[in-house]
Amino acid sequence: MSPPEPPSPAPTPPSSPADTPGLPPPRVSRLSGMFDSVRHVGRDVVSVALGRLFESQEKSPLAPPEAGEASPAAPDAAKRVGVLHAVAQQLRGAADTYVAAKLDEIEARVDEKLDTIEARIDRKIVELHEQLVEMRDRELRHRLRLLKVTLIFTALVAVLSLVYKWVSQFWQLP
């Protein structure tokens, strides 16, 4: 006797649109990785700041006093809240400065790439213009050559026609 086979697992739905048959894969730009990292850094900074804020609130005596109990550490708690607010402002300012610096770097790189692309396009335009001028000159030379040949053959036919007329007048039968 063979052991019973375990039931087959149910098919899992596709985890992303790229796994779905018939759909094209999502488009990913070069800058998406950079923006994702900036987004993750910002998210990390906020989560650290909030984690510290909540940890300090759990440890601090800022919780509302229980009934009948006075709050002896109220001035100290207010100072802590002020310090936390100042730290949060500094973190926000540092994060804003960091993001602005990174965006400036990205903008500089993009400008540099655009300048490079623009220079390549300008070189290509000049090259195409030179090719068009060369092709136009070749076409004009070809047409002039054909006109010369046509003129020569026209003149030759005219001379042959005159010779024929001249010979036919002298050798005309009475």
Measure Cα distances from 139 to 25, 127, 132 in Å. 49, 18, 10
Residue 8 has pLDDT above 60, yes or no: no
Per-domain residue ranges for the chain?
A: 38-61+75-170
Residue 34 has pLDDT above 80, yes or no: no
73: left (phi over 0), alpha (psi -120 to 50) or beta: alpha
Model's pTM, two decimal places? 0.39
CA 125 – CA 119 distance, rounded (Å): 10
- Between 50 and 153, name the one with better pLDDT: 153
End-to-end C-alpha distance for the chain, whole angstroms: 130
Tokens of residue 96, six digits: 């804003």
Is residue 30 a contact partner of residue 22, using CB atoms and an 8 Å limit? no
Tens digit of pLDDT for each residue in 46-80? 777 777 776 765 555 544 545 444 455 567 878 88
DSSP state of 162: H
Helix or strand holding residue 66 (H, E): none
CA 104 – CA 98 distance, rounded (Å): 10
Helix or strand holding residue 147 (H, E): helix 74-170
CA 94 – CA 54 distance, rounded (Å): 21
**pLDDT value for 70:** 47
Tens digit of pLDDT for each residue in 99-137? 999 999 999 999 999 999 999 999 999 999 999 999 999
Q: Residue count of the chain, please give it.
A: 174
Q: What is the band of 12 on the pLDDT scale with cuts at 50, 70, 90? A: low
Question: Amino acid identity, residue 144?
Answer: L
- Between 51 and 174, name the one with better pLDDT: 51
Tokens of residue 129, six digits: 């213009």
